[in-house]
Amino acid sequence: MTLFATPGLFAEELSVTPRLTEGPFYPDHLPLDQDNDLILIKDSTTAAVGEITHLTGKILTSAGSPVRNATIEIWQCDANAVYLHSRDSDKKKQQQDQHFQGFGKFETDSTGEYRFRTIKPVPYPGRPAPHIHIKIKQNDRDVLTTQLMIRGHEGNARDGVLRGTGEGVNRDLLMGDFKPVPDSKIGEYACSFNIVLGQTPDDRQIQQR
């Protein structure tokens, strides 16, 4: 008897990156500079305060195929725990790092790869787990909203958003390893974080927290 194999039929699917809340501080006024380098704004030579982090990875389907022409957005608070949002920055204008871009985006090519230069996230009152917010879009439609956490950080166990994900969510899929860059003279970090998209291309049911 002859057996015919279908390529990929028995391939193990990748675990889909869990969805997490967008939060209340997605920028209400997007910065003029929206590139993938959050450390320097426009042509400024003054860098943002914080531990510089090179965040890279791929956007993949659950079958492991790269997702091209997807837009990945990231946003986070600065090293002084201030977001690029009027509800936060208006109250903390004295603290805000005016040299931190706070938001950036990148469009993937045929390899599905993305890259950012940002700062290692810091905790703030109400969120003991440092995190970077992530949104994936295709054809101007939200596909996934999630957050990247620091693996092993002591604040993770006390973070209400993480605890609220429920027992069925594999929280390890939200964790990234922030590793010191060898031989860096300024103490840089690197984190590689792959994002795996599921089958439902609609993230609008995510509730604000």
Give pLDDT tens digits for 49-61.
Answer: 999 999 999 999 9
pLDDT bucket at 140, cuts 50 / 70 / 90: confident
**pLDDT value at position 199?**
61
- Whether the full predicted model's pTM is greater than 0.85, yes or no, is yes
**pLDDT value at position 147?**
98
Q: Average of pLDDT values for 37-41?
A: 96
Residue 142 CA to residue 146 CA, distance in Å, equals: 11
pLDDT bucket at 168, cuts 50 / 70 / 90: confident
Residue 207 pLDDT > 50: no
Which runs of E-coded beta strand occur in the chain? Answer: 52-61, 71-75, 103-107, 113-119, 131-138, 141-150, 175-176, 179-180, 189-192, 195-197
Q: What angle do CA 162, 181, 82 make, to 5 degrees?
A: 45
**pLDDT value at position 11?**
54
Residue 93 pLDDT > 50: yes
Please compute Rg for the chain using Cα positions.
Answer: 18
Residue 31 CA to residue 53 CA, distance in Å, equals: 20
- With contact defined as beta carbons under 8 Å apart, do 203 and 145 qualify? yes
For 103, how many CA atoms within 13 A lie in the half-sphere containing its CB?
Answer: 15
- With contact defined as beta carbons under 8 Å apart, do 53 and 79 qualify? no
Can you read off the two tokens belonging to residue 33? 């500079």
**pLDDT value at position 37?**
97
CB neighbour burial string for 36-53, b if at least 16 within 10 angstroms, e if fewer? bebbbbeeeeebbebbbb
Of all residues in the chain, the percent with pLDDT exceeding 90 is 80
Q: Average of pLDDT values for 148-161?
A: 97
Residue 176 CA to residue 130 CA, distance in Å, equals: 11
Residue 12 pLDDT > 90: no
Residue 4 pLDDT > 50: no
Residue 100 CA to residue 38 CA, distance in Å, equals: 6
**pLDDT value at position 208?**
34
Give pLDDT tens digits for 170-199.
Answer: 999 999 999 999 999 999 999 999 999 986
Instruction: Walk me through the domains of the chain, giving residue ranges and CATH numbers.
Output: 52-197 (2.60.130.10)
